[in-house]
Structure 1
């Protein structure tokens, strides 16, 4: 279970925070880069984000938590369809890091 969570944390970091904008503290990841590909990038990255939710389900996350995670993915996917501004907001929203943090809180007993 811990090994699976650590893999999800590494994936979320790669997707949402692995690249630092030079001269700033702002970080983004492959999600924002691949999301720049018109329509197809958003679809691919949404599927990867949904895979994280699927893994949370396999780790025993309850339905209310899974719903919250799905809402994060839906918000990010919807925002990403807005040209240019959506890509910038997507880079700041970081749904994958949010979802993995929610899962980790649940697994550590910090969420019901």
Structure 2
């Protein structure tokens, strides 16, 4: 059976396989989308959908929490230890609790980046247990 071909979505190459390399690419793409899709002009500060959609009361926090949960689901597919998954869930849960507080939560979304923290946990796990997926970053 031939290997599945990657698809192009919004300039990202998203492989559809279940191998660790494909999962890593999908998690990295989701983190970029949620945390640093574009930069605020003038201050050059990266923001993503997590900060912007979080401005919508209630519904925005539900959507961004679900998108953060997707990263945890992908990490579960990597057979990561349960304690790492719980730590990642704690990051997303804390971000959701912060987002529930009006105004303060919106400001906290710019500073507390749960998806970036979760990406670091996944990368550390992959670098140790699946070194072939390692990417040299510039």
Partner of 2:70: 51
Alignment RMSD, CA only?
1.3
Is residue 102 of structure 2 the alignment partner of residue 96 of structure 1? no
Between Structure 1 and Structure 2, whose CA radius of gyration is higher?
2
Partner of 1:106: 125
Question: What TM-score, normalized to structure 2?
Answer: 0.75
Cα distance in 1, alignment partners of residues 78 and 44 from structure 2: 33
Compute the displacement of 1:52 (Å). Answer: 0.7
Q: Does the 8 Å CA contact 1:28/1:92 hold for their aligned counterparts?
A: no
Compute the displacement of 1:44 (Å). Answer: 1.1
Cα distance in 2, alignment partners of residues 81 and 26 from structure 1: 23
Gap runs ≥5 in structure 1? none
- Of 25-34 and 60-69, deviating more is 25-34
Cα distance in 2, alignment partners of residues 6 and 105 from structure 1: 14
Gap runs ≥5 in structure 2? 1-19, 130-138
Question: What TM-score, normalized to structure 1?
Answer: 0.92
- 1:76 is matched with which residue: 81, 95, 109? 95
Alignment: residue pair count: 110
Higher relative contact order (CA 8 A, sep 6+): 1
